[in-house]
Structure 1
């Protein structure tokens, strides 16, 4: 059975979600207040509809509460984002993901019941900054305000040593929870597993500790 989603707001962020969900064989109702944007996605999404989602009667008429997951990707209009999210929550939509413009916006969204809040611009900025600081940092995923997961490429300072040799947990307070080596992924590697040059280490911990590890060991 194909999964069904609603994406509200067809700017760069919302539009990219629509395209990827369709590529993953999902059914997607795409909604925007701009006829031009809706026209652009009329040949991409399962349905593309011009609508004002701050109007509860409109949302009810579209039957959006029947969808399992709604993504509110409204751009600069924070008020429209909040009102839309509030209506969706009151109608009982099971999962609501909302794009936040700033921390204040996120606080309001969480108070009114958004299940997931994302900061695409901020998160991309963090990824780019980490890659600029160290060529060995390949990717970054924020778990909370203070904790993250990073993919770090092992350099010659780490290669040839085991996790026991490096004693990373004791020195930095972080954990290597996986090692990617080519097509192979080792989950919860053993203390005596050697690290090879080019291995990708999946590191989890507090941001301050991971950054300390990257600066000193990379």
Structure 2
């Protein structure tokens, strides 16, 4: 894809090795997750960013349906000729990690009551994933977005399910299982030859513990 066919329509607000996140200039409620370089620049590892991963993530969202701990997904939409994007609910605050880091410091650190509330929401979200037979495979507070609830208190919604594993026979797209956990969220090998030797649920629970630690302690899990 050459040039920038969406100039003036979309702005890049974040990118990962797998995808790029855009927001429409005149829309503050949604973001578009896309595998194409809609700003005309190379970002991340191009061979890892494919339309198939977006289709897989869309299948994950269809399986999850609406839930208060999961970001809303509005489906795939064509944003340019032969270029699809996943339309998602946009957080007005940002990720949990961004919030914690931004407010760390003397007289700014969120009180423990807030941290425990966020940890509970994160846990509820992962429990819902597992209840639906889905292994997240990328559990992290960087993939948890903050929203203001009806009571004015912060609420957590999980996102980024491009590496998640659907249960067999669920009607999702064919997708080779992978693990995308951050290094500090990975269960130690302890003599195992490969990450694949670790049961996925054990890895998920270890990552959950790391997230709770990061949320309730001053320092990120390490």
TM-score by length of 2: 0.23
TM-score by length of 1: 0.23
Structure with larger RCO (C-alpha < 8 A, sep 6+): 2
> Larger C-alpha radius of gyration, 1 or 2?
1
Q: Which has the higher helix share?
A: 1
Q: Which has the higher strand share?
A: 1
